[in-house]
Amino acid sequence: MPGIDESLLEAMRLPGARGASVVDWISGLALGAVGDAPGGDPEATAAETAELARLATESGALAPAGGDAGGPSGKEPPVQDLIITNADSYHLLRFVTTTFDSTVFLHLWLDRADGNLALARIRLAEMADRLVLG
Amino acid sequence: MIAPLLTARTDEPASVLLATLAAQGASGALSTASGIVYLAAGHVVHVESAVTPDLGDLLTHSGALAPDGWWAAIDQAGRRCRVGRQLVDSGHLAAGALELCHLGALFDAAYFVLAHDGPALRFRPGVAHWLGAVRSVPVDTVLRESRRRRELLHRIWPEPAIDVAPLARVPSDPVELPARRGRALAQVDGVRTAAQIATALACRTFHTLVELRRLAAAGLVVPADPATASAEPGPAPLPAAPDEPDTALLRRLLHALEAL
């Protein structure tokens, strides 16, 4: 049964993975991090990506059109993941859904030459589920 | 190895004493007027505050864990200080879920215990929390995060009265709000404070403060009573003296027995 560190280390085994972290998108705090941090400052990276994630999850325009935002429990984030692409890497942010009050996402930083974005997105979603469901 | 035993009130800020204890690799419980910080080998393993929901509240009130499962774990592992481990080993909770919820509760309580850095009251060496080790955090990480959270709230809306006063809604046309903010606003009734709203929602108090300060910044929420609002600049009303850990455990067990 994976804890935070095991989940992040599993993410780091994906091809091209440079760094992985789990970040609270309201406080901007990294609850765990492995590998390298983009920009070299894990705390600044967490705070900046958290702000991005917060804007996405609070955006009415980006929510599902069906109007069932939040799922049956009202706790499912309206956005599942964010993908940012730059010249040499991908950033993949996956929201983690929990029954209890948590506001976290997994952040995977992938090398663009070695990484497989489609595979990483599927795997990160599985890891987010296993992290909280076992 | 032997940490200083403080039995009398000191004027030393909790942050200074915590840094000293961390450097010594100390284990024990440091009390301040607003809560208790538990250390193991110089790292923070748990923090309790009277104004934040504890791990059990967050897990059981949200439905993530049945109250029976929580009380069974305390019953079986409380005296061995291994309740967290027991929740995972018994299959009630995934390891990652426990860590996320525990860290959420730890930093939430730490903000109210440490952000305004009152004096340390006393340190009891060797005292461990019944939850046991889940995931420890360096002392300087906890101190830095508590200060950062205070600045974050200030940037959103620089009026600390929102954190402590009973809150009231400002009459307005219906507005579209993000889900969390809407849930917080729905609890604002002219009577409850932020901490009481957090308890009602089974949400962390700091995260509730963020939503309430954003609502205040949007002009949707104000302190209900101006007299109360200007009275106290702290992050939360001073709670009664926190329970001794053993008393807290006994009280919880008593409640569990009464609930049977």
B70 — contact with chain A (CB < 8 Å)?
no
Q: Give the start-to-end residue ranges of the domains of chain B.
A: 14-153, 161-229
pLDDT band at residue A66 under the 50/70/90 scheme: confident
Confidence of residue B258 (pLDDT cuts 50, 70, 90): low
CB pairs under 8 A between A and B: 95
Mean pLDDT for B245-252 is 55
- Predicted confidence at residue B189, as pLDDT, reads 95
**How large is the average pLDDT for residues A40-55?**
95
Q: Taking CB atoms and an 8 Å limit, are B97 and A69 in contact across chains?
A: no
3-class secondary structure per residue, B128-169: CCCCCCCCCEEHHHHHHHHHHHHHHHHHHCCCCHHHHCCEEE
Q: What is the pLDDT of residue B115?
A: 80
Q: Is the pLDDT of residue A32 over 90?
A: yes
Which of A65-79, B51-65, B113-127, B232-246 shows the lowest per-residue confidence on average (mean pLDDT)? B232-246
- Whether the CB of B174 is below 8 Å from some CB of chain A: the reply is no
Inter-helix orientation angle B95-114/B139-156, to 10°: 70
Nearest chain B residue to A97, by CA:
B97
Confidence band for B239, pLDDT divided at 50, 70 and 90: very low
pLDDT score recorded for residue B12: 82
pLDDT above 60 (res B235): no
pLDDT digits (tens, 9 = 90+) for B13-72: 899 999 999 999 999 999 999 999 999 999 999 999 999 999 999 999 999 999 999 999
What pLDDT, on the 0 to 100 scale, is given for residue B52? 96
pLDDT of residue B223 exceeding 80: yes
- Which structural domains are found in chain A, ordered by start? 4-133 (3.30.450.30)
Q: Is the pLDDT of residue B227 over 50?
A: yes
User: Using CB atoms, which residue from B179, B203, B210 is nearest to A74?
Assistant: B179
Looking at residue B167, its pLDDT comes to: 97
Q: Which residue of B has its CA nearest to A78?
A: B179
Which pLDDT value is given to residue B230?
Answer: 47
**Which residues from chain B sit within 8 angstroms of residue A61, using beta carbons?**
none
- Given an 8 Å threshold on Cβ–Cβ distance, is A29 in contact with B207? no
Judge: B62–A99 Cβ closer than 8 Å, yes or no.
yes
> Longest Cα pair distance anywhere in chain A, in angstroms?
40
User: Residues B114-148: pLDDT tens digits?
Assistant: 987 888 889 999 999 999 989 999 999 999 999 99
Closest-CA residue of chain B to A71:
B179
Confidence of residue B10 (pLDDT cuts 50, 70, 90): low
The helix/strand/coil state of A110 is: strand
Q: What is the 3-state secondary structure (H, E, C) of chain B?
A: CCCCCECCCCCCEHHHHHHHHHHHCCCEEEEECCEEEEEECCEEEEEEECCCCCHHHHHHHCCCCCHHHHHHHHHHHCCCCCHHHHHHHCCCCCHHHHHHHHHHHHHHHHHHHHCCCCEEEEEEECCCCCCCCCCCEEHHHHHHHHHHHHHHHHHHCCCCHHHHCCEEECCCCCCCCCHHHHHHHHHCCCCCCHHHHHHHHCCCHHHHHHHHHHHHHCCCEEECCHHHHCCCCCCCCCCCCCCCHHHHHHHHHHHHHHHC
User: Would you say the pTM of this structure is higher than 0.90?
Assistant: no
Does B101 lie at the interface with A, CB-CB under 8 angstroms? yes
